[in-house]
Amino acid sequence: MGGKGFLGCFILFLSLASVSTIKQTLISINDLRGIEFGHTSPRHGLMLLHWLANNIHTDNNGNMRFHFNPTRGDYGFHFYGNADRPRPLPFLPSESGSYYSLGNIDSNLNYNGATALPDYVTQSFYNSWTPERNRDRVIIRVREEGSNQFIVDEVYITQHYPPNENRGSAYDPDNTYPVSFSLLTQIQVLPTITRDVIQRIHNVEINDNSVENIWGHTPGLALLLAIALYLTRPKVSFIQQAFSSMDSQRRTQDDDNKSIKLEVKTTDRGCARIIFSGIPKRLLDKGVIWALYKNNDSTDRLDFASVQDSASGSYDTSVSLNPGLQARLHQYKYMFAFALCGKYNTFGEDIHRSPEFHDANREIPVDISGHRPNASLQLFVKDGKACARLYVKKSFTDWKEKFYNSWVGFYSSERKDTQEYNTYQWQWAVNFSEERRSDWKGIPEYDVYVYSSSMTMCPGVQARFMLEKYRGEKARTPPWEVHTSAI
Ligand SMILES: *[C@@H]1O[C@H](CO)[C@@H](O)[C@H](O)[C@H]1NC(C)=O
Ligand SMILES: *[C@@H]1O[C@H](CO)[C@@H](O)[C@H](O)[C@H]1NC(C)=O
Ligand SMILES: *[C@@H]1O[C@H](CO)[C@@H](O)[C@H](O)[C@H]1NC(C)=O
Ligand SMILES: *[C@@H]1O[C@H](CO)[C@@H](O)[C@H](O)[C@H]1NC(C)=O
């Protein structure tokens, strides 16, 4: 018996050894120092991790939860089947949950959920030109609970192989690590800890204000970068280190290009408004032009004007809002070229690119009360008009009966009463038209239905879902651009 037991143990040991390529769990921010993830320019891994930590919370039972829905593709989350070989993550039977991956910002789809991520995550992506910028991923292992809530059981950080190694699009198991909840909690509390704690626990001293100038508007991010990047090269000041390792690429050897903020917002007429700030005087003196493009891949300028010597400001264009719009700042080239060769020759290299415009203003769909997660509502803009999307779970097969008398109305403000929807700006839910675009392939559990109103999108506009003809509001979207969304 004893011999058999021993043999059994031995075989068990062997089989465990053959699958356990999984690295040791990272339990504190300090553990992020010795690894490759997010450490070199222009990688976005540490920003992804910071975003995730600040968008999940622990409930009373110690479970990690979040407000978004990865099965619906929120923030660009997508299902990951763990089918790469060697397998980067532990085998997961389907009844125990699924893996979802976050961080692929490059997408040629019309609807790119990842553009809902904040600027600080996507900025390096649009402003650097190497494939390195799109290698990092954060993966969550998610379980759906009976009450239609999600629980996160595990968090991993991982990365694609270097693009020049021709190893395809698999994740690299040697650079895949489980991340403990305590590490995420440490990231959450970074904005509240004092300088002496930083020095005592993390052994870094931050005496350089430029880190704060660049990342300080995102609470805790400057500190996370300081701690995670500092000790890989001791005795080098953080700012030198961060920007020699984070930013050795094409642009920004100077810190001051980094302070530029540029975004596309909405005018009162459904058009693009360009907002910028932080343009260094050095560039202003040479002359700066803003220009609006259809998207990041486009070279056709839809509108442009020169920036009058002010580091910040805004311009209203007459270009209708559409998904993907991108603003860029260009340096002036030679003025005399204007007369000789036409105006386009006056555009120098672009200094900065905004993220591509997210058609739902970075808001994820809102659940229709009593029907989570079977149905949800999202307000978005197309050709400058207010539009609505219904996400309906495929398993919710009788939704047309349940929503037979339901309608979606468009309101000019959140203060309007139910009957004060804008004239003619409403539609029966069952009359929404199904979107069969390939864009929705990534969310196989849902059908998407849309309705385009003829109401001009402007700040304050809201869509609401009413269950019955005259009453029964079950969902309202956040009013367009009224509240700034959280990190
Ligand atoms: C900042 O942008 C300007 C304009 O493109 C460029 O000439 C300059 O080199 C940039 N700064 C650095 C140091 O990259
Ligand atoms: C943005 O456009 C440039 C070319 O203009 C391209 O090299 C880069 O890959 C594009 N980035 C994205 C996010 O598609
Ligand atoms: C979602 O739809 C399914 C299928 O119709 C149904 O069984 C389930 O009860 C619905 N959930 C809610 C919360 O309505
Ligand atoms: C909804 O669709 C039905 C059938 O296609 C149509 O008769 C009706 O006019 C539509 N309702 C509205 C408000 O457009």
Per-residue pLDDT tens over the stretch 1-28: 444 444 444 444 444 444 547 899 999 9
Going by alpha carbons, the residue nearest to atom 2 of ligand 4 is 431
**Ligand number, closest to the Cα atom of 128:** 2
**C-beta 251 within 6 A of ligand 1:** yes
The predicted model scores a pTM of 0.88
Output the CA–CA distances (angstroms, integers) from residue 205 to 188, 197, 208, in the order listed: 20, 10, 9
Q: Report the nearest atom of ligand 4 relative to the CA of 427.
A: 13
pLDDT at 274: 97
pLDDT at 235: 43
If you search the block for the tokens 């407000």, which residue do you land on? 67
Q: Report the nearest atom of ligand 1 relative to the CA of 350.
A: 5
**C-beta 371 within 6 A of ligand 3:** yes
- What mean pLDDT is predicted for residues 122-137? 88
**Pick the residue with more confidence: 240 or 422?**
422
Annotated domain spans of the chain: 18-188, 190-247, 255-353, 366-476
pLDDT at 109: 56
- Asked whether the beta carbons of 384 and 271 are under 8 A apart, the reply is yes
Residue type for 61, please? N
pLDDT at 470: 87
Would the pLDDT of 389 be above 90?
yes
Q: Report the nearest atom of ligand 2 relative to the CA of 126.
A: 13
Q: Helix or strand or coil: residue 30?
A: helix
- Asked whether the beta carbons of 435 and 450 are under 8 A apart, the reply is yes
- Asked whether the beta carbons of 290 and 328 are under 8 A apart, the reply is yes
Q: Helix or strand or coil: residue 2?
A: helix
Would the pLDDT of 203 be above 80?
no
Q: Helix or strand or coil: residue 324?
A: coil
User: How far does the centroid of ligand 3 lie from the alpha carbon of residue 400, in Å?
Assistant: 13
Residue type for 41, please? S
**Ligand number, closest to the Cα atom of 353:** 2
**Pick the residue with more confidence: 187 or 148?**
187
The model's confidence at residue 210, banded by pLDDT at 50, 70 and 90, is low
- Asked whether the beta carbons of 255 and 271 are under 8 A apart, the reply is no
Would the pLDDT of 197 be above 90?
no
Report the interhelical angle of 238-245 vs 221-230 (nearest 10°): 90
**Pick the residue with more confidence: 37 or 373?**
37
47 membership: H or E segment, kind and range: helix 45-53
pLDDT at 234: 44
**C-beta 106 within 6 A of ligand 2:** yes
Residue type for 409, please? G
- What mean pLDDT is predicted for residues 325-352? 72
464 class by beta-carbon count within 10 Å (0-12 exposed, 13-18 middle, 19+ buried): buried
Q: Report the nearest atom of ligand 2 relative to the CA of 299.
A: 5
Going by alpha carbons, the residue nearest to atom 9 of ligand 1 is 251
pLDDT at 187: 96
**C-beta 259 within 6 A of ligand 1:** no
Sign of CA dihedral 213, 128, 338, 298: negative
For the chain, helix, strand, coil in percent to 5 are 30, 30, 45
Output the CA–CA distances (angstroms, integers) from residue 325 to 122, 278, 292, in the order listed: 15, 21, 7
411 membership: H or E segment, kind and range: strand 407-411
- Asked whether the beta carbons of 56 and 64 are under 8 A apart, the reply is yes
Tens of pLDDT along 36-90? 999 887 899 999 999 999 999 999 998 999 999 999 999 999 999 999 989 999 9
Tens of pLDDT along 84-124? 989 999 999 989 999 999 999 886 555 678 999 999 999 88
**Ligand number, closest to the Cα atom of 428:** 4
**Ligand number, closest to the Cα atom of 407:** 4
Would the pLDDT of 255 be above 60?
no
The model's confidence at residue 332, banded by pLDDT at 50, 70 and 90, is confident
**C-beta 147 within 6 A of ligand 3:** no
Would the pLDDT of 160 be above 90?
yes
Which stretch of 196-210, 335-349, 440-454 has the lowest confidence by average pLDDT?
Answer: 335-349
Q: Report the nearest atom of ligand 4 relative to the CA of 428.
A: 13
pLDDT at 165: 86
Going by alpha carbons, the residue nearest to atom 8 of ligand 4 is 431
pLDDT at 343: 47
**C-beta 376 within 6 A of ligand 3:** no
If you search the block for the tokens 């259809």, which residue do you land on? 294
User: How far does the centroid of ligand 1 lie from the alpha carbon of residue 326, in Å?
Assistant: 20
Going by alpha carbons, the residue nearest to atom 3 of ligand 3 is 396
Q: Which of 251, 283, 307 to mutate to test the pocket of ligand 1 (most atoms within 8 A of CB)?
A: 251
* Rg of the chain on CA atoms, in Å: 25
Q: Which residues line ligand 4 (CB under 6 A)?
A: 427-428, 431
**C-beta 396 within 6 A of ligand 3:** yes
**C-beta 374 within 6 A of ligand 3:** yes
The model's confidence at residue 330, banded by pLDDT at 50, 70 and 90, is very high
Would the pLDDT of 342 be above 70?
no
Q: Report the nearest atom of ligand 2 relative to the CA of 108.
A: 14
CATH, range 255-353: 2.60.40
pLDDT at 344: 44
Q: Report the nearest atom of ligand 1 relative to the CA of 250.
A: 14
